[in-house]
């Protein structure tokens, strides 16, 4: 499959450097198996020149730098990148990498293998190999083959053209209604929550053919309710909502191949980072010989409880 990798930068050249340095250790980037695109948002605080210097100095091969002339904001930036790579350029799939994730050397190998495996099921949406599973190397090594349902953050994941074509009408509707003509931080939250409630009333779709079809006890809506004052209204939330409504499941390996280091940012502080459990991220720097030959779904904990993952 023709695969694009898209990174996203706005300010924080130190974060971007750490992310890109790690990504550049992946053999798929170095040998040209994937095509690398850097998306740099514009506007006040963008530090595009500093980010360009990081890219050029890194020595990591890339296809293109897409520098926005003004500030798109996170929502339009991520939606536009998916449109440009999957709709306009015709890639079969893309990997999204935000600037506060540090990947291991097996990250892309594991992710693309999981994507290939997941594509045999009609009801699988995005896949990722970033998770928050505590443990050291010896504790996690036996579990590298296990895959779980997730509603975790979209800091890095793989999306196929097939799935994008299913969910993009909801994303494009959200973009047109609520993101154009205003800063992303000033999007109309109440109106977006009304939009989300209306979507949820339509019910989930079912998929024919070979489906993963997990037990109902293991499947959880990312938004059990949509409170008017607290429900998230980001493009990530709408992406998760669109996949849930389309009957698509998000998958992740139980064991991570990347480390999220974004303690500070638009939506995070060291206190929130700890509250979300990110301080418990386990070992993640694996080698190719550690990767499993096949995968197995895990729906229950070791003591028999159904696993549960809410949007966070």
**CA nearest neighbour of 144 among 158, 129, 161:** 129
**Strand, helix or coil at 10?**
coil
CA angle, 84 then 89 then 91, to 5°: 100
- Sheet containing strand 296-297, edge to edge, reads 64-67, 35-40, 3-9, 93-97, 156-160, 124-128, 249-253, 146-149, 296-297
How many angstroms separate the first and last alpha carbons of the chain? 30
Average pLDDT, the chain: 94
Q: What domains can be seen in the chain, in order of their start residue?
A: 3-297 (3.90.550.10)
pLDDT for position 25:
97
pLDDT above 80: residue 138: yes
pLDDT for position 74:
94
pLDDT for position 207:
86
pLDDT above 80: residue 226: no
- Taken in order 43, 48, 50, 55, is the CA torsion positive or negative? positive
pLDDT above 70: residue 20: yes
pLDDT above 90: residue 38: yes
pLDDT for position 153:
85
Tell me the pLDDT tens digit for each residue of 279-309: 999 999 999 999 999 999 999 999 999 998 7
Per DSSP bridges, beta strands 156-160 and 258-260 are unpaired
Share of the chain above pLDDT 70, in %: 98
Tell me the pLDDT tens digit for each residue of 68-84: 999 999 999 999 999 99
pLDDT above 90: residue 252: yes
| Residue 262 pLDDT level (bands cut at 50, 70, 90) | confident
pLDDT for position 102:
98
Of residues 153 and 212, more confidently modeled: 212
pLDDT above 70: residue 9: yes
pTM listed for this prediction? 0.94
Distance CA 250, CA 252 (A): 7
Q: How many CA atoms lie within 13 A of 194 on its CB side?
A: 6
pLDDT for position 208:
82
pLDDT for position 152:
87
pLDDT above 70: residue 55: yes
pLDDT above 70: residue 137: yes
Query: How far are the Cα atoms of 8, 91, 120 from residue 2, in angstroms, in the given order?
Result: 20, 5, 17
**CA nearest neighbour of 91 among 8, 41, 163, 170:** 163
List the structure tokens of 279: 């301080």
pLDDT for position 134:
95
DSSP 184-253: GGG--HHHHHHHHHHHHTT------SS-----GGG---S-S---TTTS--SHHHHHHHHHHHTT-EEEEE
Average pLDDT over residues 15-43: 97
**CA nearest neighbour of 286 among 62, 127, 135, 154:** 135
Beta bridge partners of 95: 5, 158
H or E stretch covering 14:
helix 13-23
Average pLDDT over residues 93-108: 97
* 93 burial via Cβ count (<10 Å: 0-12, 13-18, 19+): buried
Average pLDDT over residues 258-272: 83
pLDDT for position 229:
79
pLDDT above 80: residue 311: no
Report how many helices (DSSP H) and strands (DSSP E) the chain contains, helices first: 10, 11
pLDDT for position 10:
97
pLDDT above 70: residue 312: no
């Amino acid at each position: 499959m023709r695969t694009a990798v898209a990174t996203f930068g706005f300010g924080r050249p130190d974060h971007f450097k750490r992310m890109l340095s790690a990504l550049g250790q992946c053999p798929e980037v170095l040998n040209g198996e994937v095509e690398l695109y850097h998306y740099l948002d514009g506007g006040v605080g963008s530090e595009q020149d500093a980010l360009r210097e990081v890219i050029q100095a890194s020595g990591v091969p890339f296809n293109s730098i897409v520098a926005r002339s003004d500030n798109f904001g996170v929502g339009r930036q991520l939606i536009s990148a998916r449109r440009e790579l999957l709709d306009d350029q015709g890639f079969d799939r893309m990997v999204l990498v935000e600037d506060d994730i540090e990947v291991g050397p097996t990250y892309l190998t594991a992710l693309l293998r999981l994507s290939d495996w997941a594509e045999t099921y009609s009801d699988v949406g995005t896949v990722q190999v970033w998770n928050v599973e505590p443990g050291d190397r010896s504790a996690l090594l036996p579990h590298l083959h296990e895959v779980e349902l997730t509603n975790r953050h979209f800091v890095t994941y793989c999306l196929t053209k097939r799935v994008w074509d299913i969910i993009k009408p909801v994303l494009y509707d959200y973009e047109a209604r609520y993101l154009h003509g205003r800063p992303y931080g000033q999007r109309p939250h109440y109106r977006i929550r009304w939009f989300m409630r209306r979507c949820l009333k339509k019910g989930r779709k079912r998929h024919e053919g070979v489906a993963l079809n997990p037990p109902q006890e293991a499947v959880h809506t990312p938004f059990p309710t949509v409170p008017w004052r607290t429900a998230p209204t980001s493009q990530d939330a709408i992406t998760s909502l669109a996949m849930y409504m389309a009957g698509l499941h998000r998958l992740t390996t139980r064991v991570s191949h990347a480390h999220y280091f974004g303690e500070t940012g638009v939506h995070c502080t060291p206190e929130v980072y700890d509250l979300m459990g990110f301080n418990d991220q386990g070992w993640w720097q694996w080698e190719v010989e550690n990767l499993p030959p096949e995968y197995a779904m895990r729906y229950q904990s070791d003591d028999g409880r159904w696993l549960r993952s809410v949007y966070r």
